[in-house]
Amino acid sequence: MKKLNEQLEHDLKSCNNMDQILDAVQKHYDLSKPFGLTVKLLVVAGVTKILQMIKAEPRTIINK
């Protein structure tokens, strides 16, 4: 597991935006496992905080 974490760390160091970070994490870990309620609340709060920190701009959604 240490070698995998070292590779992820290497990949993360070369990322320049959140999209690249999420791709790198997805490459190294299976993120499909369902959340429990507490974990979901923590993840949602963390993602919300990260979006504020990086000043992410919302996408324009066009309803068809």
Q: Which residues contact 8 (CB under 8 A, 6 or more apart)?
A: 24, 25, 27, 28, 29
Domain ranges of the chain: 2-53
* pTM given for the model: 0.75
Identity of the amino acid at 64: K
How does pLDDT run across 10-28, given as a tens digit for each residue? 999 999 999 999 999 999 9
- d(C-alpha 20, C-alpha 33), whole Å: 21
Residue 2 CB neighbours (<10 A): 6
Show the tokens assigned to 18.
Answer: 């959140």
Q: Per-residue pLDDT for 63 more than 90? A: no
